[in-house]
Chains A and B, each alone.
Chain A
């Protein structure tokens, strides 16, 4: 650091300004030691500071680098030759199955095969590649192999060209595990579901039905058994009986599909549903979520509720009972974010008081002093935004109804060491 300080001093001397070395060292030291700024950033900042102090011109400079995708000549391969992720290949294959995709970003997903193997493929909506058809054979040029949990798949991308072939590609005879061969798929538990594209049968209870706006989806929600819960999608084209929340069913011949590391069950036209008399018990739905509080939403802080139905009032009125004399309450609608999920969470009065340090009485008098209920929300934001919390609670629709909340108050050293090891082996 002393070297850096000397260096800064001599640079300024060249510009005709003599700055005491102690002043430079002090500023540098405060930034680096107390505020953990990397030395070169601290150096920059100190230089900027003294340039400004001395009315000198600053030349901001920025580095930029350009990258060009590497040119490549893509080899033709057979499907059993795909044994590595991240390779560009050309393949000739027949489309064996197209799965329904509930994800707008995916235009087609399914299984293709040749005489050596079968493999999953994905075609993304944004790449605008014409659709392929089941039973037809194609030459797929410039697709990318991808390894996922030890299995391979191919991804079509914007460089991919798909040509339909006149020839009918012969496909390896081993079955891909389908319905339609008369055999019901094997019975499993939710926790056993670990293979993409696997046909299975399962006994579950419907825990939640979600709103859905897709015409092609008849029902979507959450089902579970004693080992866990899983999302399901029932396609309109499957023409199956409607499920009722809280009832238990046997699903025959449904497909497990993996999406972003999670599995979903899809009920299609090969599936069937039987209602069960027994009541399937669902594993407790209490969950833990850790993340930074990135928003405290409007409707948080000091609110008034309808004395009859307890709904929060909007502009002094209840949706159901109109203008009423409301009673005060405190709540927080927070967004916790772990970098992968933005999780809305609702804290009732006792937890809102605990985490914000503001009691309902405090809040009422703060609002009275300021003649504005909004000051309570402002205070809560100041106190909570940007900090890391761990909550437990039950997931209802898109919210967690929080049972407990705690501030994360220190680094987990074991986790830190694990991360360093992970970074080292990469």
Chain B
């Protein structure tokens, strides 16, 4: 039996997520998974984020369609949940702002008329968490991002692709990580 392999939830800071704009499919048929490739070479089909929900708004016309903004130490993620994400939409409708939330979701991109690619997250689940979980996530995401920055020399095909497309500046992302980690110490 060929096992179904669940996609790993990648760890990416909001700033890097926002600076991503390269999507591709692994395979040719319509069921092939879609990926977002980030500047440090994370191949993202699913991601796990923890941050502060600072805004939410129902922007739907016929049915509820929730938009949320979740902040981390480097920026913010946009979250969209409608009728196809009923549990997440309900969670967004019910929760207060600000609040610490954990989100598992899929990356999504939208290209504006000017050609700018905007990234957002379609949540599979949203749950309320505490500040400790939020701090653990920042450290966790810092560690994974550092691993990717280090691997920018050890080129596998994703890294090659990411570097070609973004001309990735190592320092840009290592200082982003540094700032995020330092913010954890300042808070104590």
Contact = CB atoms under 8 A, between A and B. Distances in A.
Interface string A331-347: 00001011111101000
B98 A124 contact: no
Contacts of A381: 125, 127
A238 to B, nearest CB: 22
Nearest to B167: A67
A211 B146 CA distance: 35
B127 A86 contact: no
Given A36-B73, A41-B54, A339 B98 contact: no
B11 A339 contact: yes
B6 to A, nearest CB: 4
A124 B6 contact: no
A423 B76 contact: no
B155 A144 contact: yes
B74 A423 contact: no
Interface residues of B, number: 80
Contacts of A382: 127
A382 B50 CA distance: 15
Nearest to B73: A38
Contact of A147 (B48, B153, B170): B153
Contact of B50 (A295, A337, A386, A415): A386
A8 B118 CA distance: 26
Nearest to A387: B133
A416 interface: yes
A36 to B, nearest CB: 6
B30 interface: no
B71 A37 contact: yes
Contacts of B2: 213
A37 B183 CA distance: 10
Contact of A41 (B8, B75, B135, B137): B75
Given A31-B98, A386-B129, A408 B177 contact: no
Interface in B105-130: 112, 114-118, 124-125, 127, 129
Nearest to A340: B8
Given A35-B54, A294-B9, A146 B154 contact: yes
A295 B46 CA distance: 12
A62 B116 contact: yes
Contacts of A157: 157, 160-161
B165 A67 contact: yes
A78 B132 CA distance: 53
B170 A342 contact: no
Interface string B129-171: 1011111110111111010011011111100110011110011
Nearest to A386: B102
A384 to B, nearest CB: 8
Interface in A58-84: 62, 64-65, 67-70
A420 to B, nearest CB: 5
Contact of A294 (B55, B104, B135, B185): B104
B139 A415 contact: yes
Given A62-B116, A147-B154, A387-B102, A155 B129 contact: no
A139 interface: no
Contact of A45 (B9, B69, B125, B155): B69
B184 to A, nearest CB: 6
A398 B116 CA distance: 41
Contacts of B62: none
A85 B153 contact: yes
Interface of A: 30-31, 34-38, 41-42, 44-45, 48-49, 62, 64-65, 67-70, 85-86, 105, 124, 126-127, 144, 146-148, 155, 157-159, 211, 213, 292, 294-295, 335, 337-342, 344, 381-382, 385-388, 398, 408-411, 415-416, 419-420, 422-424, 426
Given A342-B9, A385-B127, 15 more contacts: A36-B183, A42-B71, A62-B116, A69-B165, A70-B167, A213-B2, A295-B104, A337-B8, A381-B127, A386-B50, A386-B102, A388-B136, A416-B185, A420-B185, A426-B174
Instruction: Pick the 7 closest A-B CB pairs, nearest first.
Output: A386-B102, A64-B116, A426-B174, A213-B2, A85-B153, A339-B11, A385-B127
28 contacts: A38-B75, A41-B54, A41-B71, A42-B71, A62-B116, A64-B116, A85-B153, A146-B153, A155-B156, A213-B1, A337-B48, A339-B9, A339-B11, A339-B48, A339-B144, A341-B8, A386-B102, A386-B133, A388-B133, A388-B140, A410-B132, A411-B135, A419-B146, A420-B185, A423-B174, A426-B149, A426-B150, A426-B170
Interface of B: 1-3, 6-11, 19, 21, 26, 48, 50, 52, 54-55, 69, 71, 73-76, 98-104, 112, 114-118, 124-125, 127, 129, 131-137, 139-144, 146, 149-150, 152-157, 160-161, 164-167, 170-171, 174-175, 177-178, 181-185, 187
